[in-house]
Amino acid sequence: MSDLALRLESVTGGYGDTTVIRDVSLEVPRGAVIALLGPNGAGKTTLLKMVSGVLTPASGRIFRGDEDITAARIHRRSARGLCHIPDGHGIFPSLTVKENLVLSSPKGQERASIEKATSAFPALGQRLGQTAGSMSGGQQQMLAVVRSYLKSPDLILIDEVSMGLAPVVVDEIFAFISDLSAQGTSMLLVEQYVARVLAIASHVYMLNQGSITLSCSAEELRRSDLFDHYLSTGGAPADVPARTGDR
């Protein structure tokens, strides 16, 4: 069996005639957290959509373990343990928190799933009857992350989970992501808080105008001038907390 949770081989594609992703190859080893960084419009979200099956590449191949899933439907990919937490949460805003959790729960384990979710994020336990869309952005993101966890995925794609959230909420969500990683879940993380992601990722790919322009260990990036260069050239918001924080 392959020791890779995900492998992209020369993936190219985009939207109709518009090519956004160009010849991208990358790997997510089983149990690893891999970061995908890059400036706005680089194609990070587009690439995650190709992995989850929302978009089909024009050329190249995508593998989950030994299986070629390039043309597999979304439900087939999720049945194989792939979970995508999209930019903008991916929850059902008009349903209650409890209903959202039940929909993600394995059949017959609804009560246990609600307990698991609310012990991970107590804020959700106090809001089980509230519509998900009426919660704060941070609470919605907690719900999105914990819903993916209830499906026991072995590979999670996370698109800018911390977007627009207060640092204290980002801390809580990152602590949960670190726990998932410690339990062996593989992850491909698109994230704006570069230093936070470098603290949990083992390897980093930099995407620029649809192509991978850098592939190195997180440690190498932390130590190199490229990290400061990345921050100073608009690759991440100027107020990245870790700029003065956890480097």
Ligand X SMILES: Nc1ncnc2c1ncn2[C@@H]1O[C@H](COP(=O)(O)OP(=O)(O)OP(=O)(O)O)[C@@H](O)[C@H]1O
Positions that interact with ligand X (CB under 6 A)? 15, 18, 20, 38, 40-46
Residues whose CB falls within 8 Å of the CB of residue 51, separated by 6 or more in sequence, listed in order: 6, 8, 62, 82, 84, 157, 188
Query: Residue 119 or residue 213: which is nearer to ligand X going by CB?
Result: 213
Instruction: Identify which of 79, 81, 121 has the alpha carbon closest to the alpha carbon of residue 100.
Output: 121
CA distance 235 to 216: 16
Phi, psi of 204 (to 5 degrees): -130, 135
Residues whose CB falls within 8 Å of the CB of residue 71, separated by 6 or more in sequence, listed in order: 56
Number of neighbouring beta carbons within 10 Å of residue 244: 9
- Nearest approach, Cβ of residue 54 and ligand X (Å): 10
- Nearest approach, Cβ of residue 110 and ligand X (Å): 34
- Nearest approach, Cβ of residue 45 and ligand X (Å): 3
Query: Residue 45 or residue 139: which is nearer to ligand X going by CB?
Result: 45
- Nearest approach, Cβ of residue 40 and ligand X (Å): 3
- Nearest approach, Cβ of residue 105 and ligand X (Å): 30
Query: Residue 20 or residue 145: which is nearer to ligand X going by CB?
Result: 20
- Nearest approach, Cβ of residue 101 and ligand X (Å): 27
Query: Residue 154 or residue 191: which is nearer to ligand X going by CB?
Result: 191
> Is beta strand 18-29 parallel, antiparallel or unpaired with respect to 4-15?
antiparallel
Query: Residue 42 or residue 195: which is nearer to ligand X going by CB?
Result: 42
CA distance 70 to 55: 10
Query: Residue 138 or residue 210: which is nearer to ligand X going by CB?
Result: 210
